[in-house]
């Protein structure tokens, strides 16, 4: 008995077709987006978060080997329903998801191995889909080609070293920024800076008049009070004596105060 974890893409169909042709006993865990294998009598649909139910099914079928074929889409974690084993294993899968799909598969393989279930290669029954490692061309590289290849490898390694050095530079720049912030925090303040800091604590009078008028410019213009023009009609009818009378006589006030 072989357990098939099947996802989308035609590869899963090819694997299933070959297993049926070999007359192997199997069952399917259908992880396709649209339940592609629902018409197959050996197909089961179980949520990816229900590890307990999945493992129970594998053991119920007395299955010791499973394989993955096709693309299994990552579900939204907020929509995943978990059983007890799912709650236990999900944190390790979440950590693996930060490293990509391959890391998730490796984590699931490790989980199954802990349950004495082995994961075999996806092309175990379809070796014709992959090539044996060897040279499939009669063409040979020339001396110049080999030189170019060696240069490419050399420069590629240099780029890797450069990335490591740039990473170290980023750390150094971060430390310098922190040091600069500390220096700025503890250095003596200039007279101008002290005045500005004092103004911040002088509410509600903590804004310069120029800043106030800049902020209120639009509102003042809308009200029509943005400027006042003094006309000659407003000043020409006043005599010097009338203007003089508008000023307060402080000496008379001081005398009146002394008499009292």
Q: What is the pLDDT of residue 23?
A: 92
pLDDT for 259 equals: 43
* CB-based contacts of 73, cutoff 8 Å, min separation 6: 7, 8, 31, 33
pLDDT at residue 159, as a whole number: 74
Q: What is the pLDDT of residues 171-190, one digit of tens each?
A: 777 777 777 777 777 778 78
The residues, ordered by sequence, that sit 6+ positions from 131 with a Cβ below 8 Å of its Cβ are none
Residue ranges in the chain modelled with pLDDT below 50: 254-260
Q: What share of the chain is helix, strand, coil (3-state, %, to 5)?
A: 55, 10, 35
Going from the N-terminus, what domains does the chain have, and what CATH number goes with each?
Answer: 2-129 (3.40.50.20), 208-259 (no CATH)
**What's the pTM value of the predicted model, to 2 decimals?**
0.49
pLDDT value at residue 260:
43
Task: Provide the pLDDT for residue 89.
Answer: 81
The pLDDT, as a whole number, for residue 205 is 58
């Amino acid at each position: 008995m072989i357990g098939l974890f099947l996802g989308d893409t035609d590869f899963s169909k090819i694997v299933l077709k070959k297993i049926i042709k070999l007359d192997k006993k199997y069952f399917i865990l259908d992880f396709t987006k649209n339940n592609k294998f629902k018409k197959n009598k050996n197909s089961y649909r179980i949520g990816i978060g229900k590890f307990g139910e999945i493992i129970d099914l594998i053991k119920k079928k007395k299955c010791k080997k499973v394989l993955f074929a096709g693309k299994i889409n990552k579900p939204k974690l907020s929509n995943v329903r978990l059983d007890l084993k799912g709650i236990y294993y999900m944190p390790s899968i979440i950590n693996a998801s930060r490293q990509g799909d391959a890391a998730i598969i490796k984590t699931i393989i490790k989980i199954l191995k802990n349950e004495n279930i082995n994961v075999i290669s996806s092309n175990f029954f379809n070796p014709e889909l992959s090539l044996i490692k060897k040279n499939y061309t009669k063409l040979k590289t020339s001396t110049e080609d080999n030189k170019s290849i060696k240069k490419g490898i050399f420069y590629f390694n240099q780029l890797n070293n450069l990335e490591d050095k740039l990473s170290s530079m980023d750390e150094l720049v971060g430390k310098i920024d922190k040091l600069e912030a500390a220096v700025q925090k503890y250095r003596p303040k200039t007279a101008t800076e002290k005045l500005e800091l004092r103004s911040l604590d002088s509410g509600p009078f903590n804004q310069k008049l120029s800043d106030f008028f800049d902020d209120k410019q639009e509102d003042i213009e809308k009200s029509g009070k943005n400027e006042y023009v003094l006309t000659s009609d407003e000043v020409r009818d006043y005599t010097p004596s009338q203007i003089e009378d508008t000023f307060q006589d402080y000496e008379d006030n001081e005398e009146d105060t002394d008499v009292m």
